[in-house]
Amino acid sequence: MINFLNSSGDVWLPFFLTFQIQNTLFILLVLAILYVFGNTRALFKKQITLIALIKTLIPPVISLPFIGTVVRLDTIPLIKADFLIDVIGGGIAAENGLQISGFFFLIWLSGALLILSLFVYSSIKLRADNRKAERFYPTKMSLPARIKVYKNSKIKSPLVYGCVSPKIVLPLNWESFDKRMQHSILIHELCHIKNGDLWFNGIKLLSTIIHFINPLHWVLLHYFEMYSEMACDDSAIEKCALNREEYNRLIVQSAEALALPYWISRSHSLSRAFKLLKRRISYQINQKEDCLMKHSPLFRSAVLVVLLLSVIPLSWQCSKTDQSPERATSLEPVPVEKPAMVDENGVYAFFAVDKKPAIKEKIQPEYPDEARRKGIEGLVLLVVTIDENGQVIKAVPLEEVPVRDDKGRIVEMRAVDRLPELEPAAIAAAEKCTFKPAMKDGKAVKVKMAVPFRFRLH
């Protein structure tokens, strides 16, 4: 189990950190835009926050080769994959071998499963409670056939749930509401259905499962919920015979009791919490034509398009060749920019020989006990020097690899992340390996090449 967490964490953590950095930058951009457009329609601000929510579901998948440089392992003169020396340690790492990456992966996985479990429990409970609800047929209002209305004694505030077959659930004291209030409440809940808010709940759930650890995610979720309610308030006021003051009294009355926790259910309640209620009322009080910013539909569309385009640079991925050597899988020999064909000791570069060396005898290293106990595994790359007889006369760890730009030019040499716990065993084994010598102009020559040792526990 610990080995699974460690290996999964090693792959997950760099990807997840990149994901969080990108989304944090995008959410900050969205919050800045919301600040600039503070006095504007709630629907426009809801659209802005919706784009941000969708962005949180876009992982680093867009290739942008013009961003930065990459480590190209395929430029290192390695022997063919057939000669990869695979070291299987066997056994299970001790309990104290959980690495930092595995620890954070465990925390994230536990939180994600908890949120998913709460959502499933909430949905099941909501539907179980509604099985005993009384079917209600509103008078003086024609509803689409797929939308059903119920009265339920277990709720105190109107809500709506269900994507394919929406259901509006009303409190048992519904009859005590003023007729105009009843009409406006139904209009408000219908606006949630019409605006697609029930489908957006799926986006919110997935985003929360992935990014619950990011505080800015909760800020974004709060704003999206708030603007969704405000946008439905605007629609309800426009379509019913209430003025804003009367409507404010309505939502205060309906807020006497809260509905199910909105962040773990698919339901929408007319009133969520006291702070949200205050913001909604304040928005309606200040909703005057002379205090709202005037922007043409074209301008608003342009802002949304620019925001959508900004998703691209904030969803970049590292190149598939952008990996540290211990994680590499491509072991085919590809020459780097040619250094000297032969050094002062008469050792030829790997690319310079006519016939590459071929391994005759592989020596399997002993898996170090300490590394096994700690759950350490990975790829160790050694640079070995092979003499004219095919004997290894020197083996040292590879210390740096070339970094290339998008045109394949080397721009720097970058240090390799090494595994010092595994290197001595790899060196000892490499020095005992034998090869068929490299050939140059029909003669056996010394050659320098890289030999990979992959250590794994299973």
In a domain, 52, yes or no: yes
374 and 355 share one domain: yes
184 and 276 share one domain: yes
Point out the domain boundary residue: 257, 284, 317.
317
58 and 187 share one domain: yes
Residue 221 predicted with pLDDT over 60: yes
Give the count of domains, the chain: 2
Cβ–Cβ under 8 Å, residues 227 and 34: no
Q: What is the CATH number of the domain that holds 435?
A: 3.30.2420.10
Q: Which of 76, 102, 131 is nearest to 16 (CA)?
A: 102
In a domain, 164, yes or no: no
217 and 304 share one domain: yes
H or E stretch covering 360: strand 358-361
304 and 376 share one domain: no
Q: Residues 279, 281, 286, CA angle at the centre, nearest 5°?
A: 95
In a domain, 261, yes or no: yes
Q: Of 234-238, 257-261, 345-349, where does mean pLDDT reach its minimum?
A: 257-261
Q: Residues 82, 86, 91, CA angle at the centre, nearest 5°?
A: 155
Point out the domain boundary residue: 317, 345, 379.
317
Point out the domain boundary residue: 283, 317, 351.
317
83 and 105 share one domain: no
Range of the domain at 387: 71-95+335-456
368 and 442 share one domain: yes
In 3-state terms the chain splits into helix, strand, coil percentages (rounded to 5) of: 45, 20, 35
The Cα-based distances of 336 to 71, 74, 341, 449 in angstroms read 12, 9, 12, 12
In a domain, 171, yes or no: no
In a domain, 149, yes or no: no
Query: pLDDT tens digits, residue range 17-33?
Result: 989 999 999 999 999 99
DSSP lists the bridge partners of residue 403 as 71, 412
91 and 205 share one domain: no
Q: Which of 265, 314, 424, 364 is nearest to 57 (CA)?
A: 314
What pLDDT is recorded for position 318? 54
In a domain, 146, yes or no: no
201 and 304 share one domain: yes
What pLDDT is recorded for position 97? 62
Residue 1 predicted with pLDDT over 80: no
Can you tell me the mean pLDDT for 231-253? 77
Task: Name the maximum alpha-carbon separation found in the chain.
Answer: 102
What pLDDT is recorded for position 63? 55
270 and 351 share one domain: no
Query: pLDDT tens digits, residue range 305-327?
Result: 999 998 888 887 654 444 433 33
90 and 208 share one domain: no
Q: Residues 326, 329, 331, CA angle at the centre, nearest 5°?
A: 100
The Cα-based distances of 10 to 31, 378, 416 in angstroms read 32, 10, 16
Which band of pLDDT confidence, cut at 50, 70 and 90, is reported for residue 91? very low
In a domain, 143, yes or no: no
In a domain, 153, yes or no: no
360 and 452 share one domain: yes
